[in-house]
Amino acid sequence: MRAILRRELVVMGAQPGITAAIALHVGATLAFLLAWNQGVPLLPGTNVYEQLQVIEPWLLVVLLSWTAARCLAPERGDRMVLLSVLAAVPPSRIILARTIAVVVVLALVVAAAFPVVVIAQQMSAVPIRTAVTSLVPLLGLVVLIAAIATAWTVAAAERLAAWIGSALTSGLLLVILPHAFLPHLVDGIVWALTGVSITFVLAAWSDGALRYCHE
Amino acid sequence: MSATTTKTMIRAERLTKRIGDSTLFSNIDLRVDSGECLGIVAANGADRSVLLRILATLVPPSSGSIDIDGIDAVRRVFAVRSRLMYFGEPSPADGGIRVREHLDLVTAVRQPDRQCARAAIEDALRRTALPGDALVDELPPRLGHRLTLASSLAAGPAVLVLDDPFGPIEPETRRVFVECLREISQRGTTVVLGGREHDIDSVCHRIVRLESGRLAPYFHSDLVLSSAAGM
């Protein structure tokens, strides 16, 4: 498991998409702060910090889905079976390793914008502890998006389709799953558990569906 | 070969493959011993590839049984894969992976003793003159062939299945390939090699021909290799 996880991390780490995603995330959140200083946008919430917390999950749904679709190792179908034979591990292990690897990368993208969150916290005179704990639900969201994006990259032949499918599915789940106005710790746990469930279902499916190559 | 040490590594019985209405082959029986190098030639290269892919557990047979190293390769396909390696089509995309990392991946399950695995990887790199730090997806074709060899040398699988490894290959790489295949076979690995007669006859102990859906003996030489089973 360790070797296949290392392989997935190396393949993802070699993709230029991660740097772009970090730049986009930091840039988008900074732009939001600058725009808020001009008096727009006017979202529910008493201060810039809260408004940033409201908008962040939706920004991440689009951005993290793109990052995952762009950076995940591209094997699917017969190529996944060949990788399974080469590494002598069942496809379920590859799926698990791939999801863990993408969680690590997406968490990095989320954490990269933390300094901007701290600026918002300072501007709004909110305790720093609040800013730190606000990361937890976002990490739950990372697990959810990672699981959905992994499933879509296995299902869709094109990265673009995987991105759109992943973003739409994640967005839909974000609407369906009950969560507080400002993402809360419990919301993060629900999102993470949903992601873990999706991963296990996908892994169990892969051991049957990706057992053999197509004839 | 010494009868006392010979072990049947591949035993296929009544192997049949049908795709749609067409039967590629039927009721094939095949036995390959430990350390033996078996060549398979065929009038139709596609049928040969299907047979090799079945032996490598990439596709299932329509009926019949295959045991590899005593394990039912149809029922316990994932268990069998740790005992075999297959090379015959482009490897999965290895973007960003270096040669040493690739070898680390293929040996991870097959060589649980990591110290031995690391030594085997370095030995394989030296034998095949492969640069360990080179990126796999940037290797020129001739070094791609050597990566196949290095993987086989380092992992030391019980069974190695190769489909047409001598395609467009330059003489020097071919020489290294043949030498390494002999060594792999002498170490006790069972090698099943698909290709054209003139490509594989200098490596194989035995060659069978797949024709009209049946396997028939084609060539046998007890001069080519020393007895591997006695090693």
Phi and psi at A88, nearest 5°, equal: 60, 40
Residue B93: pLDDT band by 50, 70, 90 thresholds?
low
Distances (CA, A) of A17 to B4, B35, B48, B125: 59, 47, 42, 32
Paired sense of beta strands B190-194 and B159-163, if any: parallel
Return the CATH number of the domain spanning residue range B1-83+157-231. Answer: 3.40.50.300
Residue B198: pLDDT band by 50, 70, 90 thresholds?
confident
Structure tokens at A148: 């959905």
DSSP string, B131-157: -TTSBGGG--HHHHHHHHHHHHHHH--
Residue B225: pLDDT band by 50, 70, 90 thresholds?
very low
- Tokens 């996880």 belong to which residue? A5
Question: What confidence score (pLDDT) does residue A184 get?
Answer: 81
Average pLDDT, chain B: 84
Contacts of B94 in chain A (CB under 8 A): 11
Contacts of A212 in chain B (CB under 8 A): 57-60, 77
Question: What confidence score (pLDDT) does residue B87 get?
Answer: 86
Q: Do B105 and A86 touch (CB under 8 A)?
A: yes
Q: Do A73 and B93 touch (CB under 8 A)?
A: yes
Q: Do A80 and B92 touch (CB under 8 A)?
A: yes
Q: Is A141 domain-assigned?
A: yes
Q: Highest mean pLDDT range out of A87-96, B15-24, B221-230? A: A87-96
Indicate the residue of A87, A212, A215 with minimum beta-carbon distance to B109: A87
Q: Confirm if B85 and B148 have CB atoms less than 8 A apart.
A: no
**Percent over 90 (pLDDT), chain A:** 60
Q: Do B106 and A6 touch (CB under 8 A)?
A: no
**Which chain A residue shows the shortest CA-CA distance from B99?**
A7
Q: Which amino acid is at A93?
A: R
Chain B nearest C-alpha distance from A154 (Å): 14
- Tokens 């033996």 belong to which residue? B36
Q: ipTM value of the model? A: 0.84
Structure tokens at A51: 């408004």
**Which chain B residue shows the shortest CA-CA distance from A215?**
B59
Q: What's the rounded Cα separation, in Å, for the pair B45 and A27?
A: 56
From the CB of residue B88, how many other CB atoms can be counted at a distance below 10 Å? 17
Q: Do B108 and A80 touch (CB under 8 A)?
A: no
Q: Do B92 and A83 touch (CB under 8 A)?
A: yes
Q: What's the rounded Cα separation, in Å, for the pair B156 and B161?
A: 12
Mutation site, B77, B85, B86, B99, interface A, largest A CB count within 10 A: B77
Determine the average pLDDT of the residues in B105-122: 89
Question: What confidence score (pLDDT) does residue A149 get?
Answer: 96
DSSP string, A54-79: HHHHHHHHHHHHHHHHHHS----THH
Residue A41: pLDDT band by 50, 70, 90 thresholds?
low
Number of domains in chain A: 1
More confident residue, B95 or B86: B86
Average pLDDT, chain A: 90
Indicate the residue of A11, A211, A212 with minimum beta-carbon distance to B96: A11
Tens of pLDDT, residues A137-169: 999 999 999 999 999 999 998 999 999 999 999
Q: What's the rounded Cα separation, in Å, for the pair A54 and A43?
A: 8
Does B60 have pLDDT greater than 90? yes
Does A126 have pLDDT greater than 50? yes
Domain that holds residue A131: 2-209
Indicate the residue of B86, B93, B101 with minimum beta-carbon distance to A85: B86
Does B224 have pLDDT greater than 50? no
Q: Do A75 and B92 touch (CB under 8 A)?
A: yes
Q: Is A214 domain-assigned?
A: no
Q: What's the rounded Cα separation, in Å, for the pair A91 and A114?
A: 35
Chain B nearest C-alpha distance from A131 (Å): 36
Does A182 have pLDDT greater than 80? no
Indicate the residue of A10, A80, A85 with minimum beta-carbon distance to B101: A10
Does B173 have pLDDT greater than 90? no
Q: What's the rounded Cα separation, in Å, for the pair B155 and B106?
A: 6
Instruction: Name the residue among B214, B213, B218, B212 with its Cα closest to residue B204.
Output: B218
- A49-58, B61-70, B89-98, B188-197: lowest mean pLDDT where? B89-98
Sequence-ordered alpha helix ranges (H) in chain A: 2-13, 17-37, 48-71, 78-87, 91-112, 114-124, 128-133, 135-155, 159-176, 185-209
Residue B227: pLDDT band by 50, 70, 90 thresholds?
very low
Q: Confirm if B30 and B64 have CB atoms less than 8 A apart.
A: no
